[in-house]
Amino acid sequence: MGGLLNGSRVSKALKAELTDHADDFTWAAATVGAMNGASYQLAAERPVMSIGGFNGTDPAPTVAQFKKYVKDGRIHYFIGGDSRGGPGGGRDGAGSDIQKWVKKHYTKETIGGTTLYDLTKAK
């Protein structure tokens, strides 16, 4: 069982990472799906972008918009999920496409059992 509404559980280590320098960014992090986004935002008490709406399949933001936010330094981290759909998944649509782009261009690290990509440090 996950966190809020089966969203993700947030470890103390991840919460600390998300809050460190969070005020330097519009969003401390971005993740696919509103349930995951809500869990991280409530735990960190900082703005977290929920990509693709409830299921991660809506085209908001678009891949181009997301890339611009990253280029402009507005998002610190991308919190990775899987590609099965549901919380953190997003089988099709912007959420899946954004996740693929992040995986290709940024290095994965694991903090508190959660996959994280620092969007300020490209590969």
Cis peptide before 47 (omega within 30 of 0): no
Domain assignment present for residue 116? The answer is no
Residue 50 has pLDDT above 50, yes or no: yes
What pLDDT digit, counting tens, does each position of 52-73 carry? 988 888 899 999 999 999 999 9
Residue showing tokens 């990472």: 17
In a domain, residue 51? The reply is yes
Q: Is the pLDDT of residue 12 over 80?
A: yes
Cα separation, 14 vs 20, whole angstroms = 10
User: Confidence class of residue 3 from pLDDT cuts 50, 70 and 90?
Assistant: very low
Range of the domain at 56: 4-26+41-110
Q: Which of 115, 112, 99 is nearest to 10 (CA)?
A: 112
The average pLDDT across 102-121 equals 96
Domain count, the chain: 1
pLDDT in tens, 75-96: 999 999 744 334 444 456 778 9
